[in-house]
Structure 1
Amino acid sequence: MTIDPNKPFNELPLLPPKADIETKTVLKKAITANRALAELKGASRLLPNQNIIINTLALEEARDSSAIENIITTRDKLFRALVTDPRKIDPVTKEVLNYRKALWKGFTEVQKKGFISTNIIIDIQKELISNNAGIRKLPGTVLENDITGEIIYTPPLGESIIYSLLKNFENYLNTNTSNDPLVKLAVLHYQFEAIHPFYDGNGRTGRIINVLYLTFNDLIQLPVLYLSGYIIKNKEKYYQLLRKVTYENNWEEWILFMLNAVETTAIETTEKVNKILDLLNKTALEVKEKLPRIYSKELIELIFHQVYCNINFLVENKIGLRKTASKYLNALASIGVLKPEKIGKEVIFLNTRLYKMFKEKK
């Protein structure tokens, strides 16, 4: 089939693909990718509180996924935003934080309902973009070469056509098949990007669906594996291979790329989890030795929930009243576990070692 990039691809083939998506090379790679995921799942279970990694990694993913769409904010702004007045957060940082909110909305809904529906996907995009535009109804959406401005793909057009394609996507996603789940993930990600159902936020919505799919299939317990960092490093190849599926029906290269993304990211995330656990245990021993009167397991875990904390954070989590919380935070600062920083009239406390860990290059 010859495809004209300037015309809506309303003939986008339905799922499952008719091509062989599980070649020997693909299945061999799927084994190592699944093994890496299993190791991540096991490492995550060792954490005393899963929030320790979820909060920080979700922000890292929000930042990376938004950066792919040229929505750029700093890591520090994001971490600070969790403990500062929402009215003082700049618009770009707010938009990146919307990604985190959309992720959690989707995760909660999927856990509650037991499937990933078109309506859940629409709700995720609505949370992400903060508008009610919904499924595309008007023409004009095209994908262009960033440098030349040349149109490289025009997604399907027509609300009924898009809904029909999404229904097929939903059925394929939620139906058990003989395909390896990670191979299926690669197929689903291509199809969602090819449908391109929204005016804005398709890439970010698609990447949220990836992690929801992994939790839905119990490949990971909680949303802690994010592929956006890998995609940023291999952005040109990512888009090139998407186009190869569309124009050449080349599924193998695309699926291998996604399997490698899962494997590489799972290994990196497992290393991060192990480093966080090691740092948590070392910090607990240090505080127990130097500040035995304020030490508690709950306090140490709480200062690892996110990079910055403040008095309210401790009060809300029932560590103590304001006076006690202030005393604890200042005591931890006195031995170098935390670092106080003043923002206006408020003092926030940075877990310097945890922050340094997230600043390290992957």
Structure 2
Amino acid sequence: TTNDALFVAFSASSSQGDPATKEVLRYREALWEGFGALKKRPLLTTNLFIRLVQTIRKNKAGIRNTPGTKVQNAATGKTIFTPPEGERLLRDKLKNLEDYIHTEDGVDPLVKLAVIHYQFEAIHPFTDGNGRTGRILNSLFLVQRGLLDLPVLYLSKYIIQHKSDYYRLLRAVTEKQQWEPWILYILDAVQETADFTRKRIIDIRDLLEETAQLAKQKLPSRVYSRELLEMIFRQPYTKVQFLVEAGIAKRQTAAEYLKALEAVEILAAQKKGKEVLYVNTRLYALLSK
């Protein structure tokens, strides 16, 4: 899906969207559902995995119980491995994975992350959605171990860019027990993704401060507030309803604030479907890089 389709979907009232956009929105919903569950009960369990995949797939999916499943390289069609079958066996293996996740064994959490990622992929507990659920599990594990405050380390970009290595190294663990190259691959993914994410956060923070200075100079004092500026940096598109829900202003005043931001070229109004959204043009450009 395109960046614009995603950004609009995060803000628009309509549930319209292409299948790829809806898939990403469900992934985001599952990620934050998992984060909320972890805050209430800091355990990564089979029941939580099932909740995640049900949110991702928008159905009552459970543990896979159909035979004949194979994990294949999407590009070549080559079988990487054949996962175990039978719900009871899969639940036993997931219980073993739970035990490994929660055991304090002195192993570095990033090394454990690599092992957990492989094991979940190898168990392949669901008929569909295993990859997305596994990637959410990555972030939630790092939160649980205190390495992240929020689940914002997305390894998907790195894995997609190095997909042939991903499948090759998965297979090497399965067939030859070659763990070291796989672990190093995941460590590289974490480092590169962390560096990218840190730089992106710094760039957004710097842009926020630049925009705040511009807004102070150009906006009427009754319009400018730090709260308003931070609101338009939550995501690229904003609208009157967001300001109202945040308690910044009532509807008519909120509309005036957004029009004032448009007048000084911080925001640009765009008609999306039946509603008007306001895009933070510089933030949009930054996130689209």
Q: TM-score, normalised by structure 2?
A: 0.97
Residue identity opposite 1:333 in structure 2 = E
Give secondary structure in 2 for the equivalent of 1:87.
Answer: coil
Q: Where does residue 270 of structure 2 map in the other structure?
A: 341
* 3-state secondary structure, aligned to 2:141: helix
Whole-Å separation in 2 of the counterparts to 1:262 and 1:157 = 31
Q: Deviations over 1:165-216 (max 9, x none)?
A: 0000001101211101100000000000000000000001000000000110
Give the one of 244, 253, 256 matched to 1:324: 253
Indicate conservation of the 8 Å contact 2:50/2:61, yes or no.
Answer: no
Structure 1 partner of 2:6: 78
Once the two structures are TM-superposed, the CA of residue 143 in structure 1 deviates from its matched residue by 1.8
Shift of 1:241: 0.5
Instruction: Map 1:9-158; keep pairs closer than 5 Å.
Output: 73-146=1-74, 148-158=76-86
Q: Distance in 1 between matches of 2:136 and 2:46?
A: 13
Alpha-carbon distance in 1 for matches of 2:178, 2:52: 30
Count of matched residue pairs: 288
Distance 1:244 1:213 in 2: 24
For 1:217 and 1:177, how far apart are their aligned partners in 2? 13
Q: Which runs of 4+ in 1 moved over 2 A?
A: 85-92, 144-152
Q: CA deviation at 1:145?
A: 3.9
Give, as a single letter, the amino acid of the residue that structure 2 aligns with 1:154. Answer: T
Q: Cα distance 1:277–1:242, how it changes in 2: closer, same or farther (>3 A)?
A: same
Tell me the CA shift for residue 289 of structure 1: 1.0
Residue ranges of structure 2 left out of the alignment (5+ in a row): none
In structure 1, the gaps of 5 or more residues are 1-72
Matches within 5 A, 1:258-297: 258-291=186-219, 292-297=221-226
- Deviation of the 1:144 alpha carbon: 2.6
Query: In the superposition, relative to structure 1, how do residues 145 and 182 fare at CA in structure 2: closer, same or farther (>3 Å)?
Result: closer
State the structure with bigger RCO (CA 8 A, min sep 6), 1 or 2.
Answer: 1
Amino acid in structure 2 at the alignment position of 1:230 = Y
1:45-80, Cα deviation, whole Å (9 max, x unpaired) = xxxxxxxxxxxxxxxxxxxxxxxxxxxx11111110
CA-based RMSD of the aligned residues comes to: 1.2
TM-score by length of 1: 0.78
Q: For residues 262 and 341 of structure 1, what CA distance do their matches in structure 2 show?
A: 37
